[in-house]
């Protein structure tokens, strides 16, 4: 099953992240603020290798079998995986290279969403 997000859903989700983060880059001390200066960065990037890795981790550690589309929708697009950043600091928020940090975040997100499953 392919789960497509509408343009509206994407815009809504972006607006919620910006509002939560007060339209400011979350890098400590960075003053970048406002539309044009900031964007929504993923802590765990939306790549098929990350999605496959998370899917396998959920199988091994949680014993749950999610499709890649569910991993994308529920983990990659989760608010805890998104942060407001300027372009310069985008890489700072990326934790995809650190598997321990990455799976700690996956577990937090899983705990957050499992109530609604």
Largest CA distance in the chain: 43
Q: Shortest approach of Zn ion to residue 86 CB, angstroms?
A: 3
Question: What is the rounded CA–CA span in Å between residue 39 and residue 23?
Answer: 9
Contacts of 78 (CB under 8 A, 6+ apart): 109, 112, 113
Q: Shortest approach of Zn ion to residue 21 CB, angstroms?
A: 11
- Calculate ∠ Cα 74-24-86, nearest 5°: 80
Residues 88-107, mask of contacts with Zn ion (x by CB under 5 A): -x------------------
Considering only residues 21-80, where is the footprint of Zn ion by CB under 5 A?
25, 27, 30, 32
Residue range at the interface with Zn ion (CB under 5 A); choices 15-23, 65-73, 84-92, 105-113: 84-92
Interface with Zn ion (CB under 5 A): 25, 27, 30, 32, 86, 89
């Amino acid at each position: 099953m392919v789960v497509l997000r509408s343009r509206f859903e994407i815009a809504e989700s972006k607006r919620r992240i910006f509002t939560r983060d007060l339209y400011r880059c979350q890098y400590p001390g960075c003053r970048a603020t406002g539309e044009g200066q900031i964007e929504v960065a993923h802590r765990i990037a939306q790549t098929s290798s990350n999605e496959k890795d998370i899917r396998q981790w959920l199988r091994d550690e949680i014993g749950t079998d999610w499709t890649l589309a569910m991993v994308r929708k529920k983990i990659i697009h989760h608010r805890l995986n998104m942060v407001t950043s300027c372009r310069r600091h985008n890489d700072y928020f990326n934790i995809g290279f650190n598997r321990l940090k990455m799976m700690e975040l996956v577990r937090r997100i899983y705990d957050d969403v499992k109530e609604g499953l």
